[in-house]
């Protein structure tokens, strides 16, 4: 017995099903495209990937790893065209792992107009980012400085004692916290 060719009804139904499936795949890819940036940010914050530091609430309590000290080095930069001087008060600190510590950065607007800046940051070695935790930081908000204004900006942080048991960080003796300030364009009012 010979098989019959598919009827136009069966072919239309298969084509419609394929078209619906392809539209679903297209919508899923579009949704993933929009979700990729926030998902990547969450991934970096959870894992410390790319030197992304962790963030903790002010009331968090961490046990100090007495006898375990580490050097923290501070690096500061301004983007080209940013009319600020920006530098750490001290270029290094030796800290006890797990101890809450504060570093101070100084910024001065060298221009004759108000300038708003935003800081980006990272930690090296990159794998140490998962253990470098900031409690308070000027990098969480935009900073506006008046002409000639100078400010002291604190960073309160600790190095999580779990770094001592991480095989990837067993040789880490120094962590560098680096900031770069970028100008933020303010909304211009219509004239």
Alpha carbon distances (Å) from 151 to 32, 120, 144: 42, 18, 10
Q: Using one digit for the tens of pLDDT, what is the confidence trace for 43-79?
A: 545 554 444 555 555 556 666 667 899 999 999 999 9
The pLDDT of 171-178, averaged and rounded, is 92
pTM of the predicted structure, to 2 decimals = 0.67
CA dist., res. 185 & res. 140, Å (int): 17
pLDDT given for residue 23 in this prediction: 79
Provide φ and ψ at 165, rounded to 5°.
Answer: -105, 5
Q: Which helix (H) or strand (E) is 87 found in, with range? A: strand 84-88
Q: Which of 15-19, 52-56, 146-150, 186-190 has the highest mean pLDDT?
A: 146-150
Alpha carbon distances (Å) from 84 to 32, 33, 75, 143: 39, 36, 15, 11
SS3 168: helix
Give yes or no for residue 185 having a pLDDT over 90: no
CA dist., res. 41 & res. 144, Å (int): 25
Contact at 8 Å (CB) between 164 and 144?
no
- The H helix count followed by the E strand count for the chain is 1, 10
3, burial (CB in 10 Å: exposed 0-12, middle 13-18, buried 19+): exposed
Contact at 8 Å (CB) between 72 and 53?
no
148 CB neighbour count, 10 Å cutoff = 10
Give yes or no for residue 40 having a pLDDT over 80: no
Q: Using one digit for the tens of pLDDT, what is the confidence trace for 96-121?
A: 999 999 999 999 999 999 999 999 88
- Out of 1.10.150.20, 2.60.370.10, 2.120.10.80, 2.30.30.100, the CATH code matching 51-183 is 2.60.370.10
Report which of 88, 63, 75 is spatially closest to residue 159, judged by C-alpha positions: 63
Q: Using one digit for the tens of pLDDT, what is the confidence trace for 122-149?
A: 888 988 888 888 888 888 789 999 999 9
Domain chopping of the chain, boundaries? 7-47, 51-183
Which residue carries 């309590």 as its tokens?
A: 61
pLDDT given for residue 18 in this prediction: 84
């Amino acid at each position: 017995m010979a098989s019959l060719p598919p009827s136009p009804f069966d072919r239309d139904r298969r084509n419609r099903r394929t078209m619906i499936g392809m539209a679903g795949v297209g919508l899923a890819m579009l949704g993933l495209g929009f979700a990729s940036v926030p998902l990547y940010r969450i991934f970096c914050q959870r894992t410390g990937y790319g030197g992304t530091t962790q963030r903790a609430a002010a009331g968090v309590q961490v046990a100090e790893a007495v006898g375990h000290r580490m050097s923290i080095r501070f690096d500061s930069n301004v983007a080209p065209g940013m009319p600020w001087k920006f530098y750490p008060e001290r270029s290094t600190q030796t800290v006890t792992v797990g101890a809450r510590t504060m570093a101070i950065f100084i910024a001065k607007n060298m221009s004759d107009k108000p300038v708003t800046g935003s800081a980006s940051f990272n930690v090296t070695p990159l794998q140490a980012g998962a253990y470098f935790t900031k409690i308070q930081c000027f990098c969480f908000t935009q900073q506006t400085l008046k002409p000639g204004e100078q400010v002291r900006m604190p960073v309160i942080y600790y190095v999580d004692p779990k770094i001592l048991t991480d095989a990837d960080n067993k040789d880490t003796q120094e962590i560098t916290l680096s900031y770069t300030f970028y100008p933020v364009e303010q909304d211009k009012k219509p004239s």
